[in-house]
Amino acid sequence: MSKLKIAVQKSGRLNEDSMALLKDIGISIDNGKDQLKASAANFPLEVFYLRNGDIPQYLRDGVVDIAIIGENVLIEKGQELVIAERLGFSKCRVSIAVPKASKAKCLKDLQGQRIATSYPNTVNQFLEQNGITAQLHIINGSVEIAPNIGLADGICDIVSSGSTLFKNGLKEVEVLLKSEAVLAVSPSISKDNQKLLEKLQFRIQSVLRGQNSKYVLLNAPNDKLEEIISVLPGMKSPTVLPLAEKGWSSVHSVIDKNEFWEVIDELKEKGAQGILVCPIEKMVL
């Protein structure tokens, strides 16, 4: 029987988020300590635990069929690889930073400067597009120390909260790109494994829709029902049920979590009462 081979980062936050997603979509993986490969107990899936920077080559070579990987790594090492799904977690940005005492305040101030980075392809392309010439020092790991030891005038690295920059006396002057975890696909994936991938994507999409939505229940006076329903688009249309109290109805719907407070405020203004909001584990369309 064919098995879908997926690569995930060996350790770190992206590993934790990736394994949490697989658990959320109902895949049970028995992974012993320091194990580099593991099989799912309830889905034809093998998980390979790899160094993040090596994953694009494994996809290219067809060693793995798919991978959960940071988009920033794909941009640096595998721009030709196809993204099947944007996953919405492990968000970060690739930024240029300089010492706080530096006079550089924007990109043009980096003309002729020395930049230390683990992302030379990304930085070179960005600088060329903006007509800036700089000298790159390629460093793998601990890039932020380069200005402090006189190796570079600035750095280009991934930034999440910005706390690492702060601790090393650095400030951001330019954001090159924003990144999140994505599901990337090997160009040589087989037809059988493509079908397995489609099943996996269906589960992932159901989980992501649930994470991005809220289930809302409320009580509405019947004379305001039409106005209240107009605020609730839902998946198709809200569910409306009569209450025991005459002249009132119960309305059930789904709203986007990013529009949550604006919608709730509008519902209250239009007369909705007893508003109950619940998380959604999965939403299957």
Total of domains in the chain = 3
Rg (CA), the chain: 24
Q: What is the pLDDT of residue 269?
A: 92
Q: Write the DSSP symbol of residue 29.
A: B
Task: Please give the residue range of the domain that contains residue 33.
Answer: 4-89+181-210
Pairing of strands 66-70, 92-99: unpaired
Provide the phi-psi class of 19: left if phi over 0, else alpha when psi is between -120 and 50, else beta: alpha
Do 206 and 71 lie in one domain? The reply is yes
Q: Is residue 71 part of a domain?
A: yes
Do 29 and 164 lie in one domain? The reply is no
Do 74 and 112 lie in one domain? The reply is no
Q: What is the pLDDT of residue 235?
A: 62
228 vs 230: CA distance, rounded Å: 5
Q: Is residue 157 part of a domain?
A: yes
In tens digits, the chain (285 residues) has pLDDT values of 789 999 999 988 899 999 999 999 999 987 755 688 999 989 999 999 999 899 999 999 999 999 999 999 999 998 899 999 999 999 999 999 999 989 888 889 999 999 999 999 999 999 999 999 999 999 887 898 999 888 899 999 999 888 889 999 999 999 999 999 999 999 999 999 999 999 999 999 999 999 889 999 999 999 999 999 988 866 677 899 999 999 999 999 998 888 889 989 999 999 999 999 999 988 887
125 vs 254: CA distance, rounded Å: 42
Do 203 and 83 lie in one domain? The reply is yes
Q: Is residue 224 part of a domain?
A: yes
* 134-143, long-range: CB < 8 A, 24+ apart: 134/110, 143/116, 143/117, 143/118
Do 224 and 195 lie in one domain? The reply is no
Do 232 and 255 lie in one domain? The reply is yes
Which domain CATH number covers 269?
3.30.70.120
Do 194 and 221 lie in one domain? The reply is no
Do 31 and 65 lie in one domain? The reply is yes
Which domain CATH number covers 44?
3.40.190.10
Do 53 and 19 lie in one domain? The reply is yes
Q: Is residue 103 part of a domain?
A: yes
Do 266 and 222 lie in one domain? The reply is yes
Q: What is the pLDDT of residue 128?
A: 93
Q: What is the pLDDT of residue 285?
A: 78
Count of other CB atoms within 10 angstroms of residue 6: 21
Q: Is residue 34 part of a domain?
A: yes
**Could you tell me if 30 and 41 are in contact, meaning their C-beta atoms sit under 8 angstroms apart?**
yes
142: tokens are 């601990």
Q: Which residue has the tokens 């706080």?
A: 100
> Which neighbouring-strand residues pair with 177?
94
Q: What is the pLDDT of residue 202?
A: 96
Report the predicted TM-score, pTM, of the whole model to 2 decimal places. Answer: 0.85
Do 145 and 199 lie in one domain? The reply is no
Q: What are phi and psi of 267, to 5 degrees?
A: -60, -45
